[in-house]
A and B are shown apart, each in its own frame.
Chain A
Amino acid sequence: MSGRRGESPRRGTAPSLFDGAGSAGAPAPARRDAAPGETADTAIGVADLTTLAKEVLEGAFPPLWIRGEVSGFLKHRNGHWYFTLKDASASISCVVWSRDTARIPAAPDDGMQVMAFGQLSVYPARGQMQFMVRAMEAEGEGLWRKALEETRKRLERDGLLDPARKRALPRFPRRVAVITSPDGAALHDIQSVITRRNPTVDIIIVPAAVQGETAPASLVAALNLVARWQAADVVIVGRGGGSREDLWAFNDEGVARAIAACPIPTISAVGHEVDVTIADLVADHRAATPSAAAEAAVPVLDELVAWLGTLGRTMRAGAERRVTLARRDLRRLAGDLSLRARRSVERRRARLQQVAGRVDALSPLNTLARGYAVARGTDGRALGSVEAFAAGQAFALVLRDGQVDATVTRVRPGGPPRAAGAAQ
């Protein structure tokens, strides 16, 4: 405190305002120049007083945590928050300047038990003591829960928490994007798990701040980059464990919306024991740790190779079965065909033989060959009976080797002579 106002060494420290008088008790006689406010003549203005009080108070109290119940909470349109913290017997006015509100997860509700960190001071315009709050926590992490709940409700209203939105992770990713701090333990864990499970998978690191005030914007930028790039099969976004504040970026609404908007399936990987983050609710898959995320993202290479082998064998067996079936069909058809052909030929041959036999048996030439003769009239007709003959009629005898012209000398009806035909 000393020297802050110190134009004059005599007024070195505020609490010693009157010490310079050298005597306690009654105002000293003006035997030398009176200190400001020491006499009616040196009375100070109200503003001087409140300013002095403010400086004294601020000098006496370092920034500290206080505890109390919130009442009369007011969000002013200038962005500042006003409320009173009280307990059974006392109260103090509090203010949160608008620039500090961003560091507080959510506005407290009246009646909430909170711990506020800040500076005790004086509000000169009213001559009132006030506590300037820079950070705040509620009993049972009430503020975090409230902030979470508010964000969750807004996302839910927009349908972003609908389980039906969740996409299946690719079963066989070749390129895994990892959004995290480039020098965090999370990246190391993810990298080693992926490499152990499947060393052929590409890992694309997308560096982002994962804690602090720049983290939300940094995470959103990284997510947008991956979304624009589109060359990854799956994206892991996360960080290792940390305090509630460390993980807070993963409860950021903008980050949640960027995850939801990512065209590539997302895995949230925020190392935390307590409960889920908003990022977990929005991501397609939630992993409890970065290592678990890597396991969820990448199947083991050996299993993949084995699965390929199984597919190959199934295909081959199926194709072979089909070919065997076709071959059997073909053989059966060929057998049928040759049997039919054979039968058909045999049938024809049998008929031919039959006909040939008959033709042969009926041939008159055969008879002639055996020495018989056929009588034929001049008109060529065979003369098979004595009645076809008349004495003096000319006819011909057809023999095996020629024809004899003859004339009937006499006709003798009656049965054939006993051995007449056998004119061999």
Chain B
Amino acid sequence: MSFEQDLERLEQIAAALDRADLTLDESLALFEEGIQRLRAASEALSKAEGRVTTLVEQANGAIEERDAG
């Protein structure tokens, strides 16, 4: 699940919960899912630092990421 998908799903969940036209079970299930995704997204944002790499294509066609200086 990508960060983008997590965020999009979170937005859907928040909107659905905000409408309050769900059953209690549905609400609680959505809330639980939302909390999990919120945690995943927050963790992604709190990771130390983005990497800077160089994309290199090798002779055999394999693609490799190398740390950029």
Contact = CB atoms under 8 A, between A and B. Distances in A.
Interface stretch (A159-167, A309-317, A357-365): A309-317
Interface of A: 170-174, 177, 182, 191, 194-195, 198-207, 225-226, 228-229, 233, 301, 304-305, 308, 311-312, 314-319, 321-323, 325-326
Given A199-B49, A229-B63, 7 more contacts: A174-B3, A205-B55, A308-B7, A311-B34, A314-B14, A314-B15, A319-B30
B51 A202 contact: yes
A229 to B, nearest CB: 5
A174 B7 CA distance: 12
Nearest to A304: B45
- Most B CB within 10 A of own CB, among A226, A301, A308, A325: A308
A202 B50 CA distance: 4
A225 B57 contact: yes
Contacts of A312: 34-35, 38
A79 to B, nearest CB: 33
B contact residues, range = 35 or more
Interface of B: 2-4, 7, 10-11, 13-20, 22, 24, 27-28, 30-31, 34-35, 38, 41-42, 44-47, 49-55, 57, 63, 65, 68
A407 to B, nearest CB: 85
A323 B27 CA distance: 9
Given A308-B42, A315-B31, A318-B18, A204 B7 contact: no
Contacts of A206: 54-55
B68 A205 contact: yes
B55 A229 contact: yes
Contacts of A191: 52
B49 A205 contact: no
Contacts of B68: 205
15 contacts: A172-B4, A204-B65, A206-B55, A207-B54, A225-B63, A308-B10, A308-B38, A311-B10, A314-B14, A314-B18, A315-B31, A317-B18, A318-B17, A318-B18, A322-B27
B50 A173 contact: no
Closest 8 CB pairs of A and B: A318-B17, A319-B31, A322-B27, A314-B14, A201-B50, A326-B24, A202-B50, A315-B34
A195 B13 CA distance: 30
B17 A199 contact: no
Contacts of B38: 308, 311-312, 315
A228 B57 CA distance: 10
Contacts of B50: 194-195, 198-203
B20 to A, nearest CB: 6
A228 B63 contact: yes
Contact of A318 (B3, B14, B49, B52): B14
A314 B38 CA distance: 12
Contact of B54 (A195, A204, A319): A204
A87 to B, nearest CB: 52
Contacts of B10: 308, 311, 315
A203 B53 contact: yes
Contacts of A174: 2-4, 44
